Homo-oligomer: A and B are copies of this chain.
Amino acid sequence: MPVRDNVEIGLNRFARRGYDLDEVSIVPSRRTRDHDDVSTSWQIDAFRFDIPLVTSPSDAVMSPATAVAVGQAGGLGVLNAEGLWTRYDDPTDVYRQLRDAASPETGPPTALLQQVYAEPVKPDLVTARIKEMRDSGVTTAVRVSPQHTLQLAPTVLAAGVDLLVIQGTIVSAEHVSKGGEALNLKEFIADLDVPVIVGGAADYQTALHLMRTGAAGVIVGVGADSWSTADAVMGIRVPLASAIADAAAARRDYLDETGGRYVHVIANGRIETSGAIARALACGADAVQVGEPLRAATEAPGGGVWWDSVAAHPRLPRGGTSAPATARGTLEQVLLGPAEAADGRTNLFGALRRTMAKTGYRDLKEFQRVDLVLGGNGAGTAAEGHLLG
């Protein structure tokens, strides 16, 4: 296993140096290109997408309807098979409660989230929600947790999803459990007919092991968006630029090891602007998992508030919540523009196309080689502070 830059933090105790996405930036250093000549398309297994987007499964932004809308805009919408839509026949009222409990300064209280998620998941609803999405004709995906994969998979598969997303805070290829039945990912995936995206993984080795389970895609990162509190709660932090680059190295090594199996790297964590999307792909990701910015879409079921998927954990919630955002346009406008503000939170993928054009790249695979610069302190911060568009 290759080793990255190591720092001796104390006598004989070492830490690898890691870099966050906002420490690394793109530098135009060659030709430029018309942005109409640029393609942002992405293909995983048999499924092709116009934009390299896998949504976060947060109920704050994903309903069967918005998952379909994302598909129609060219991305992959992922519904949480263990979320509000599969716990409640009609979650409208629950959404209203959560929204009403938020104030202009605060999001839904954690205690209320814990309470509404205490309602059990209903397999019938899982089937019904998947059907609703399938009927629209878009590529269909749902997320299950590693803990409930064995229990929910039969229902999910019978309902006919196209892609299965197995996602927890940290997923390893080898989970040790003294009691109960543990998920053996390799065996599980081998028996499946649909491609699996699995994660999060935080380093080269875990990513490589997950690739060896037969997954079609590996999610890199821990927690979603800057609202994750894995750092304060668990002491766990994944500097994402480094984690993506490490996972991309695992992808190359696994490609070589298998003589040609290409497993997609999907970046997840603090990706809240079009600039962050471009950086994640520049660091080596094939696609990005984005959630929080979608709450500004008029269709967002949460009505503008946000909560992370682990924000409702019964004993150890690990995600923040947020006060309502002002709507900025339809989901399509948030994804594809036009933007009416200059803060990188609308026209997310139109901006990506323009970055590719300004740096002269034609497609995403080429763009993974773009020149990077480390440093430039405070530029982003300053802009955020000033932004009034």
Residues of A within 8 A of B (CB): 2, 4-5, 7-20, 22-34, 36-37, 105-107, 109-111, 114, 169-180, 182, 202-206, 222, 226-239, 241-246, 248-249, 252, 270, 273-279, 282-284, 310-311, 314-323, 337-344, 347, 350-351, 354-355, 358-360, 371-380, 382-384, 386-389
Contact = CB atoms under 8 A, between A and B. Distances in A.
A22 B9 CA distance: 12
A291 to B, nearest CB: 14
A9 B110 contact: no
A382 B226 contact: yes
Nearest to A13: B245
- Copies per assembly: 4
B25 A237 contact: yes
A275 B238 contact: no
A286 to B, nearest CB: 14
B274 A235 contact: yes
A249 B29 contact: no
Contacts of A276: 235
Nearest to A12: B249
A110 B13 contact: no
B320 A387 contact: yes
Given A10-B249, A235-B25, A275-B233, A170 B374 contact: no
Contacts of A227: 383, 386
B27 A16 contact: yes
A10 B235 contact: no
Given A179-B36, A322-B388, A9 B13 contact: no
B26 A343 contact: no
Given A18-B374, A229-B344, A322-B388, 16 more contacts: A9-B245, A10-B283, A11-B248, A13-B249, A18-B376, A20-B376, A25-B231, A29-B202, A31-B174, A33-B175, A34-B182, A170-B358, A229-B343, A232-B274, A235-B274, A238-B376
A373 B237 contact: yes
A375 B233 contact: no
A229 B346 CA distance: 13
A305 B81 CA distance: 44
B277 A235 contact: yes
Nearest to A16: B373
Contact of A275 (B232, B246, B278, B384): B232
Contact of A32 (B20, B175, B316): B175
A236 B16 contact: no
28 contacts: A2-B11, A5-B8, A7-B19, A12-B249, A16-B372, A20-B376, A27-B202, A28-B206, A29-B205, A32-B172, A34-B177, A110-B341, A111-B340, A228-B383, A231-B376, A231-B379, A233-B342, A233-B351, A234-B275, A234-B351, A235-B274, A237-B376, A310-B342, A315-B339, A315-B347, A316-B350, A320-B383, A320-B389
A338 B354 contact: no
A279 to B, nearest CB: 4
A131 to B, nearest CB: 33
A305 to B, nearest CB: 10
A14 B377 CA distance: 18
A249 B205 contact: no
Contacts of A373: 15-18, 237-239, 242
